[in-house]
Amino acid sequence: MTDYDVLRVFCAPNGGYGNELGVVREGSVLPDPAERQAFAAKLGFSETVFVDDPERGVIDIYTPSVRLPFAGYPCVGAAWLLDVEELVTPAGLVGARQDGEFCWIEARAEWVPPRTLRQYASAAEVDDLQVPPKGEWIYAWAWEDEAAGRIRARGFPGRDDGIDEDEATGAAALLLTDRLGRALNITQGAGSQILTAPQPYGWVEIGGRVYLERQPER
């Protein structure tokens, strides 16, 4: 069995919630993309990261059904685990930094695959949503406190791979931050927390707490 770590990314202040992420630290054990895709499907996490060079931060990201050039919460988790200042992804170089209990990455909205950002009138409406039909990646959101930048959100990938709802999605939060042009404090899923902040020249920072859920024996 291939060794892998399990992290929870974008945890709540009490350490709960967060989106589970699989990380294969020695990506060389599964060099073929088809093997990686099959392993990601077997694990069944929203995303799985394969580390190809831990010192340079070279990573490869997969959902259970597709390979991604960039994804937010896998990059936050990998940056925290590898403790690097940047990650190398097919989309581009992702800046990274640690700031107390938060790990931050810096990325660009154009790196994110298509998402439908759908605003609702209230957080209660978002809470009451049922999983929508497949075929469209929907980020449902509403203001909890617009003046304070607090948002309630849920993410529905719309894929037929067993992931009906994503607990926390940094890429969708990045798109929303880029659209609104302001820093956000997002509560997503059952209680995960995502912080964002727009930066100059089209960059956006995404930050959150990361906890190690499971580590293989070494």
For residue 122, the domain's CATH number is 3.10.310.10
Examine residue 129 and state whether it is found in any structural domain, yes or no. yes
The answer as to whether 23 is a domain residue is: yes
Contact 54, 26 (CB under 8 A): no
Q: What is the pLDDT of residue 2?
A: 87
Which residue shows structure tokens 């993309």?
33
Do residues 102 and 210 share a domain? yes
209: β partners: 11
Segments forming the whole domain that contains residue 41:
5-106+206-214
Looking at the domain assignment, is residue 91 inside a domain?
A: yes
pLDDT score recorded for residue 72: 95
Same domain, 194 and 134: yes
The pLDDT, as a whole number, for residue 217 is: 60
Do 128 and 182 lie in one domain? The reply is: yes
Domain assignment of residue 111, yes or no = no
Number of domains in the chain: 2
Residue 160's pLDDT is 84
DSSP per-residue codes, 120-176: -S-HHHHHTPPPPPTTS-EEEEEEEETTTTEEEEEEE---SSS--SBS--HHHHHHH
pLDDT in tens, the chain (218 residues): 789 999 999 999 999 999 999 999 999 999 999 999 999 999 999 999 999 999 999 999 999 999 999 999 999 999 999 999 999 999 999 999 999 999 999 999 999 988 999 999 999 999 999 999 999 999 999 999 999 999 999 999 998 888 999 999 999 999 999 999 999 999 999 999 999 999 999 999 999 999 998 877 65
Q: In Å, how far from its chain's centre is CA 189? A: 12
Given this model, what pLDDT does residue 218 score?
53
Same domain, residue pair 151 and 187: yes
